[in-house]
Amino acid sequence: MKTTLTPFARFLITLAILGGLFFGGKYVLDNTSWGKSLLDKSNETKVDETNTKAPEEGPAAASTPGTSGSNTEATGGGSSTFSYVAREPINGKLKGVVELGASGFNSFIVRIDKSKNWKLEKAEFGNSLVTENMASDDDIRAGLKKYIGSMLDFGVSGRDIHFVVSSGAVKADVTQKIIKNLKTLNYFVNTVTPEQEGALALKCVLPEDYEEEAFVTDIGSGNTKISWSTNGSVSALETYGAKYFQNGVDDGKVYDEVKAKASSVPSMKRKTCFIIGGVPFSMAKKVREGKERYTVLKEPAYYKILTDAKDKSGVNIYKAIKDATGCEQFVFDWDANFTIGFLLGLP
C-alpha cells in the first residue's frame, strides 16, 4: 500500500534535514583543523576591511570651531596631524594691513568680528614691487598707490588699511623712504619693538585653548621673537634672525645664543610651539598635505633638503629652539602674521 505524506509532514522532514546539515557543518568548523582554518581566514578578511577603510570625512571631521585635537603619533621624521579649528567671525568687518619687512612686503586682508575672531580673506607674501627698481619718490608713491588700490578694490575701506614696519626692517634705508612717502599719502606708519612684535604674534597665533601649554616663535629675516603668556602677562625675547649669515656670524654662535634664550620658556609651556615666519613657511611648504591651515613641521634634520642660505640659517635657529625646549610639535599657521595681531588690538 502506497503511503502519501501530508504537506505538514513533508515540511517537518525538510526542517529535520536542514537542522542536520547546520549542526553537522558547525561541528566540522569548530572541531576540525580544516574548519578552523576557514574561520581564521574569514576573520582575517574582516579585519583587513576595517583597517583599510578610509574615513568618509576629513582628518579634522571630529573637531568643531574653537576646539583642539592633535594626533602626536610620529609619521616620518616627526611630522603629525593637528586638527584645531579656529573660530569663524560672525558679521565681521574687512580690515587690511601691510607689513614692511626686511625682505619685502606682506599684505593681509582679514575679516574681524567684535569678539576678535578673525578669518584671512586674502594674502600676498614677499611682494617686493614697491621696494625694488624704484629710485625716486615718485616711483615709490606710484607703486604704493597701486598696492593700496588692490586692497580698496577688494572692499577694504581706506581708513581700515594700516601699515606696520617689522622690528627687523625699521633701520633699512629703503624702509625710511617708503615711510616718508606713505605719510604724503596720508597713511600713518606704525613701528614696533621686537618685544611688541613678539606680543602681537602671540595675540594672533596662539589659540585661547593653548595658552597654558604652548609658546610662539616668529623667525623673521632680521630677528627671531619667542613669546608666551603667563596669567595674562606676555613675555617676549629677541634673538638672531634668519639673515644672520649675511653678517658673517658663525652658525655655532647663533645656535648657542638662540638655545640660551629659548631655555627661558617655562616648562609647562613647551608642549606645542606655534611658529610663523619666512623660513618656517619654506619648511611647512615641503610637508603640507593639502590646504590645511595648520601644518606640523618635521624634525630639523629633515630640512637638510633646503639649500637656500637663508633657509639653512633659519633651520639652525629652529633646531636650537627645538633642542632647548624639547617641544613635542611645532605647528605652522599658514594664515597668521604679527601684523594681524596689530589689527586685533585696534578698537
DSSP 88-124: PPSS-EEEEEEEEETTEEEEEEEEE-TT--EEEEEEE
Measured distance CA(81)–CA(292) in Å, rounded: 10
Instruction: Give pLDDT, residue 18.
Output: 62
Q: How many CB atoms lie within 10 A of CB 313?
A: 23
Per-10-residue mean pLDDT of the chain, 347 residues long, equals 58 62 54 48 38 30 43 46 90 93 82 97 72 68 84 96 88 81 92 94 95 96 95 94 96 98 97 96 94 95 96 98 96 96 95
Instruction: Give pLDDT, residue 166.
Output: 87
Instruction: Give pLDDT, residue 20.
Output: 60
Q: How many CB atoms lie within 10 A of CB 29?
A: 15
Cell numbers standing for residue 136: 625716486
Measured distance CA(170)–CA(102) in Å, rounded: 8
Cell numbers standing for residue 200: 602681537
Helix intervals (H) in the chain: 7-31, 33-52, 137-154, 173-184, 194-205, 251-262, 278-287, 309-325, 338-344
Q: Is 193-338 in the same CATH topology as 93-191?
A: yes
Cell numbers standing for residue 140: 615709490
Q: Which residues are CB-neighbours of 294 under 8 A, at least 6 positions away?
A: 82, 83, 84, 331, 332, 333, 334
Which CA distances in Å does 347 have to 112, 116, 344?
A: 11, 10, 8
Alpha carbon distance, N-terminus to C-terminus of the chain: 108
CA 109, distance to chain mean position in Å, is: 18
Asked if residues 283 and 303 have their Cβ atoms less than 8 Å apart, the reply is yes
Q: Which residues are CB-neighbours of 126 under 8 A, at least 6 positions away?
A: 103, 104, 105, 106, 278
Measured distance CA(54)–CA(238) in Å, rounded: 45
Instruction: Give pLDDT, residue 53.
Output: 30
Asked if residues 333 and 274 have their Cβ atoms less than 8 Å apart, the reply is yes
In the chain, where are the structural domains located? 93-191, 193-338
Measured distance CA(261)–CA(236) in Å, rounded: 10
- Residues 265-321 have pLDDT tens digits of 999 999 999 999 999 999 999 999 889 999 999 999 999 999 999 999 999 999 999
Measured distance CA(98)–CA(77) in Å, rounded: 35
Instruction: Give pLDDT, residue 125.
Output: 74
Domain 193-338 has CATH 3.30.420.150: yes
Asked if residues 107 and 99 have their Cβ atoms less than 8 Å apart, the reply is yes
**Global model pTM greater than 0.85:** no
Cell numbers standing for residue 64: 568643531
Instruction: Give pLDDT, residue 62.
Output: 33
Asked if residues 279 and 243 have their Cβ atoms less than 8 Å apart, the reply is no
Query: Into which CATH architecture does domain 93-191 fall?
Result: 2-Layer Sandwich (3.30)
* Torsions phi, psi for 289 (to 5 deg): -100, -10
